[in-house]
Amino acid sequence: MSSTALLLWAKGPGFAFAAAVFLFGVTLRVVEMLWLRRRPDRSVARGSGALQGLRTVVSRFLPAPGLVARSPVVHVGGMVFHLGLFAVVFLYGPHIAAIRGMTGLDWPGLPTGAIDGATVLTIAAMIVLLIARSKDPVRRLLTTGADHLAWTATLLPLLTGFLLVNRVALPFETLLAVHLLSVELLLVLFPFTTLMHAVTFAFARYYAGAIAGRKGAHS
C-alpha cells in the first residue's frame, strides 16, 4: 500500500471505525454503570450530597495533603503528564482545526513551540511514571498487561506527533498516516482499558462526594 493510500484509509474508514468503537464502547460502559443505579437513601441528610458531589469532581484534582511527600514522583509526574497531554491534544492548532471540522467548535490554541515542549515533558513524565510503577511494590502488584498496553497506546500518538511536527525520519505523508493510526489505536483501546477513567472519574468523584456530603462528612 502506498503512503497516500494508507493516509486515505487512516483518514477515512480507519478513523470512522475507531470513532465508532470508541463511541459505542464508552456509551456502553457508561450506560451499564448507570444502569446499576443506587438504592434510595432513607436517612435524613445533614448536608447536600449533590453539591458536595460536584465540588469533589473538581477538588480531587488537587493532591491529598501529606501524600505528596510520600509519593512525590507519582504526584508531580501525574500532574505534568495530565496537563501536558491535555495541552497537546486540545490546544494544538491542527488538532483544534480537526475538531472544528468535525463539530464546528473552536477555541484558541498554544504556539507550536509550546506544544513541542509540552510533548517532550509529557513523554518524559510517562517514562518517569513507568519507572516508578516498576519500582514500587504496590504498583507492581496492581499493574496489569492492559495497563502497559494503555501506556503504549498513549505514548505512540505523542511520539509520532512529535516526529511529524518536527519533520523527522519518514516522509510527511507516511508519518501523518502512522500518527492517525496510532490515535485510532488509542480510541479503540479506550473503552477496554484504564484509559476509560478519563470519563468515569467524574462519576466516581461525584458519587464519593455525594455519599459523604449527605452526612456532612469529608470527601
Partner 1 sequence: MTLSLGNGLAALREQIDAPVAAFFSSCVHCGLCAEACLFYTETGDPHYAPIRKLEPLRRLWSREFTLFGRIGAALGLSRPLTEADLAEWEVLVYDSCTLCGRCSLACPVGNDLTAMIRKLREGMTAAGYAPEGLKKAAVRALTGISPVGVGEHSVRKLVEAQAAACGIPIEMDKEGADWLVTISSIEFIAFPEVLGALAKLFKAAGATWTIASDAYEATNIGVQIGSRDVAGTLVQRIVDAAHRLKVKGVVTPECGHAYQALRWEGPNLIGAAYDVEVIHIIDLLDRWRAAGKLKTSGKDTSRLTYHDPCQISRRGGLEPQARRLMAMVAADFVETADAGPWNWCCGGGGGLSANHRAKDLRLTVFGPKKRQLEAVKPEGLVTACSNCRNILEEALQHYDMDLPVLGLVEMLAEYLDEEPS
Residues of this chain that interact with partner 1 (CB under 8 A) are: 28-29, 32-39, 41-44, 46-47, 56-57, 60, 63-67, 70-71, 74, 78, 136-144, 147, 191-192, 194, 196-197, 200-201, 203-209, 211-212, 214-219
Shortest distance, position 33 Cβ to partner 1, whole Å = 4
User: DSSP readout, 26-90?
Assistant: HHHHHHHHHTT--PPP-SPPSS-HHHHHHHHHHHTTSPPTTHHHHSHHHHHHHHHHHHHHHHHHH
Q: Rg for the chain (alpha carbons), in Å?
A: 20
CB atoms within 10 A of CB 171: 10
| Total Cβ atoms within 10 A of residue 2 | 10
* Closest to partner 1 by CB, 85 or 177: 85
Q: Which is nearer to partner 1, 110 or 188 (CB)?
A: 188
Cβ proximity to partner 1, 51 vs 142, nearer residue: 142
Task: Decide whether 174 or 194 has the Cβ nearer to partner 1.
Answer: 194
Q: Kindly state the smallest distance separating residue 186's Cβ from partner 1, in Å.
A: 16
Shortest distance, position 15 Cβ to partner 1, whole Å: 23
Distance of alpha carbon 190 from alpha carbon 202, whole angstroms: 16
Q: How far is the CB of 141 from partner 1 (least distance, A)?
A: 4
Residue nearer to partner 1 on the CB measure, 179 or 205: 205
- Residues contacting 55, CB < 8 A, separation 6+: 209, 213
Q: Grid coordinates representing 91?
A: 490546544
Provide the minimum distance between the beta carbon of 13 and partner 1 in the complex, in angstroms, as a whole number: 24
